[in-house]
Structure 1
């Protein structure tokens, strides 16, 4: 049972909003647009851990942004979602210290506002951030697919206020469209250069619009540009640029590149692995566990690199066995094999399961932590 709760903690920490589950009561000033700045409500905050933000809860509940999940089109890639959020948190850490700021999902952008912003610009929607459709000969793609808001509060004791905001702009790398209803699907590739140019342009428009809100005039506004992958990609997109408009400024004057890469192993076709040593380590692990049981359906890994260095490795092992001792013994083998072949200097997760169920989880939460193991329905 102790192992079970340790793994639950590990899963809760995976998105960098780490929390040990203990709540602290505090009376934090409510910073929502519909509440007077002098009115207070009872809040709780989670304990921070592993370099993550303390998270603000309202009446014991996690506060969800009203714009979460809104997209410009239906051509979404679900594997992008987690990276879109996680990457913006990582960018925010360079602007808003985890020791000084408290995290809350965005509460200032409304559903109606963001739906209008994600739509095409038109006489009936002058706030649209995607271009007008264009002509039959010149199709204008949807550049902006999604908007993410994260709020960072600062203060102490019973007095907290919004101290900074981060906005993620998910830019399409491919736009899918039909020329006629129910007709064939076409696609328009969007280069990184066009993503950058268009993203920077609309970022300044968003900053200017946000400055019109009283509560957002004198805080830093950080905007990150995220490149979405094609809808059939096995990996999520990555951030490639971010900038911050200083308090009271309506423009981002300096942009900084973000060096992130993701890949899936084994590679497909003639594609080269980002790091041959990491690929070799994974292949050794894969071969060792596949030789143990003849009925393993597949072993794949998703690797994330930051500034050229491996930052996270997640492995999925799909099995075709269900026996109690089979799962127990295979999990022990996977653990010893991971210690032998896989890098010890990065967070790592190994999920073992059938198509329908997760049977076991092996994980290292940080580079310095020990492996944690939980077998579902086991000891």
Structure 2
């Protein structure tokens, strides 16, 4: 099989951090727009913060500093784009435990270039000795070929002020691992799958992590800062949810991996399908009640589904998608108001929930959201 690469022009991570950081502002100033483009007296600029739970981002030469290698990954024809979102968002969430938002400023990865990550994700060969995936053994049979284990790699940098300048103070590396490797026996031919056991995925992941740590330690500025390596299990292409991080290791110094810790993170789709069982029956019942009540009052719905994220089998957040066949603004407004009422009544409390209402053509018609601790939903209808 030919190795194929894709440098995805993904804007997910950039959008996430810019949205989370709020108004552009200099470090040490207020969030007022008049100060947004002023140079900080500390010698650097950040995006500012509107919420202590999110990082400030780095501005360099008047522009947000983007990643040098964001989204580089091996293309697998029907790639599940939800994997990319879950990977980037989850990596930031785990980093907050090691690099608190009150003490660190976020900088998108600047140490690993696009070319470097592309080589690392390739198969090891004479032409590519740095490849983390095994060499092609020439086999085409699913059980005999050497599969691609390492699917994606992402770097995040965490900065602190030193002598009026931002200095690299920590690094997080995310490594995405496959449970299914999709391949073709011939170019433009049918798609086949090599299944990878959980045990083999974990084993190969530890090997890749150990090698990545050694290589990153040799990079400029990374020799003596804490490095957190987070392991991610890719969801299959046909999954309605993205994958989940399953373990992480923190190394304060040196190039030997620290003790591995389980994350106990899981993702699930609601309602449960024939191929996915509910993680928590109470959450399943609550969502079914919300879904049934909503559909009984408004029958012109094409679908009501949700992506649920868990930690230790406890629901952490819920992302609901509703597809309608409404066309008039009055219908959409009435429906949005009803959804807010039903969500408050039936969906679990105490967690952040967002609900996106789309038309059958994919156009977003309305958006509802509730933050942790709030009881009511913010709503917005996108009028034409």
Q: Measure the CA separation in 1 of the matches of 2:46 and 2:339.
A: 40
Q: Which has the higher contact order (CA 8 A, sep 6+)?
A: 1
Unaligned runs of 5+ in 1: 1-11, 28-39
Larger displacement relative to structure 2 (340-349 or 174-183): 174-183
Deviation (angstroms), 1:232: 1.3
Please show how residues 367-378 of structure 1 align to structure 2 within 5 Å: 367-368=373-374, 370-377=376-383
Query: Structure 1: how far apart are the matches of 2:205 and 2:381?
Result: 45
TM-score normalized by the length of structure 1: 0.88
Answering whether residue 210 of structure 2 is matched by residue 204 of structure 1, we say yes
The equivalent residue for 1:110 is 113
The separation in 1 between residues aligned to 2:299 and 2:372, in whole angstroms, is 32
Cα distance, 1:19 vs structure 2: 2.2
Question: Which of 165, 176, 181 is matched with 2:171 structurally?
Answer: 165
Equivalent residue number for residue 32 of structure 1 = none
- SS at the partner of 2:98? coil
Matched, 1:95 2:131: no
**Hey, what does 2:71 align to over in structure 1?**
69
- Which structure 2 segments of 5+ residues have no match? 1-13, 30-41
Asked if 1:194 is matched to 2:169, the reply is no
Aligned pairs (5 A) from 1:1-379: 18-25=20-27, 42-75=44-77, 76-136=79-139, 138-155=144-161, 158-247=164-253, 249-269=254-274, 271-355=276-360, 356-368=362-374, 370-377=376-383
List per-residue Cα deviations over 1:265-304 (Å, max 9, x = no partner).
Answer: 1222274311111111111111111122221111111111
Q: Secondary structure at the match of 1:153?
A: strand
**CA 1:337/1:26 → structure 2, altered by over 3 Å: closer, same or farther?**
closer
**More displaced stretch, 164-173 vs 42-51:** 42-51
Q: Contact 2:304/2:320 (CA < 8 Å) preserved in 1?
A: yes
Provide Cα deviations, 1:102-148, integer angstroms capped at 9, x if missing partner.
00110110111111111100011111111001142631000011110
Rounded to whole Å, the distance in 1 between the matches of 2:148 and 2:276 is: 29
Distance 1:16 1:190 in 2: 37
Q: Secondary structure at the match of 2:345?
A: helix
Stretch deviating more after TM superposition (209-218 or 105-114) = 209-218
Q: Could you say what secondary structure the match of 2:238 adopts?
A: coil
Aligned to 1:6: none
Residue matched to 2:4: none
Number of residue pairs aligned between Structure 1 and Structure 2? 354
**What is the TM-score normalised by the length of structure 2?**
0.86
Compute the displacement of 1:157 (Å): 7.2
SS in 1 for 2:105: strand
CA RMSD in angstroms comes to 2.3
Alignment-derived partner of residue 32 in structure 2: none
Output the CA distance in 1 between the equivalents of 2:187 and 2:15: 44
- Rounded to whole Å, the distance in 1 between the matches of 2:205 and 2:233 is 10
1:302-360 CA deviation, whole Å, 9 max, x = no partner? Answer: 11111211011111111111112211111111111111111121100111120231111
